[in-house]
Amino acid sequence: MNNRFPPMQHRSMRAAEMRLGRRRLLARIGAVALLVSAPGLFGRSEALGAAAADPETFVTEVGDQVLTILDDASLDDAGKIAHLKTLLDEYADLDLLAKLILGRHWRTATADQRDAYVDAFRQLVMTTMADRLHQYGGQTFEVVGSQTINDRDSIVKSKIVQPSGAPPIAVDWRLRKSDTGYAIIDVIAEGVSLVVSQRSEVNDIVAKQGMDGLIRTMRDRVSKRDAIELPTDKAG
């Protein structure tokens, strides 16, 4: 009799809000996480990895290095990106992350496809990192604990502290220990894992367009974003 709006909509909006509300900050964490993670992400960093006595120290040191660059007022955006890329080049081994994201499709890829994919992935990480630089807004982070998963992997828990006083964001770092030291192999922001998310996208594209379609899509994305966002990069 009354013209009722289905309450379901209300509740659903609420649910979505609660769910996504916390995720709201994910974009900014995305920024921080990617930035903080990118250089240390994948570590092969003899100096850094070997120097860190334990996973918590490793994450703290990586984070401090990145924040130093981000907070450096003498650097403009291009300068910061260049520094972060240098860090990434110096310390990173993106291979494992690329493989983890490709998952079972790695097995069925040819040698050429593997090389092309890893190369495209590497460029995409760089592009994304540069894009997210603008989302950084004075956040700091503190390590709050760690947990051993098995004999090679461990999780370091941290909190990204918001300068606005908004609730801190929980970011977990998954580290793998190797002969050369620790390497970060996943970032989990408020329960959302970088590797899981990327796997899901990559899986979908490979299923529909094949491995070559995936590589094409990644390359397109890189060239499109470089053209729009980083004209200076192209020029240089």
Partner 1 sequence: MSKPAAEHLRPPDRRWTRLFVARPAAVLVLAACLWAGHARAQEIYDPIEPVNRAIFAFNQVVDGLILDPAQQIYGYVVPEPAKRGVRNFLSNLAAPIIFVNDLLQGERERAGVTLGRFMINTTLGLGGIFDFASIVGMEPGHDEDFGQTLAVYGVSSGPFIMLPILGPSGLRDVTGTVVDAFVFNPWPYYVDDEVTLGVRIVDGVDTRYRIDPVLDDLEANSLDLYAAIRSGYLQRREADIRNGASPAGSSAYEDIFDQDFDDEQPLPSDAAPVDAGG
Around Cβ 156, how many Cβ atoms within 10 Å? Answer: 25
Does 83 contact partner 1 by CB under 8 A? Answer: no
Question: Is residue 14 within 8 Å of residue 8, measured between CB atoms?
Answer: no
Does 227 contact partner 1 by CB under 8 A? Answer: no
Question: Is residue 58 within 8 Å of residue 175, measured between CB atoms?
Answer: yes
Q: Select the residue interacting with partner 1 from 50, 77, 79, 191 (CB under 8 A).
A: 191
Q: How far apart are CA 216 and CA 84, in angstroms?
A: 26
Q: Scan residues 103-122 and list those touching partner 1 (CB under 8 A).
A: 103-114
Does 59 contact partner 1 by CB under 8 A? Answer: no
Q: Residue 157 to residues 71, 74, 138, 176: CA-CA distances in angstroms?
A: 23, 31, 20, 14
Does 170 contact partner 1 by CB under 8 A? Answer: yes
- Which is closer to partner 1, CB of 91 or CB of 121? 121
Element at 144 (helix H, strand E): strand 140-148
Name the one range near partner 1 by CB under 8 A: 42-50, 58-66, 76-84, 193-201: 193-201
Q: Scan residues 8-47 and list those touching partner 1 (CB under 8 A).
A: 8-28, 30-31
Name the one range near partner 1 by CB under 8 A: 2-10, 48-56, 58-66, 68-76: 2-10
Closest CA to 98 of 81, 120, 131, 126: 120
Task: Give the shortest CB-74-to-partner 1 separation in angstroms.
Answer: 28
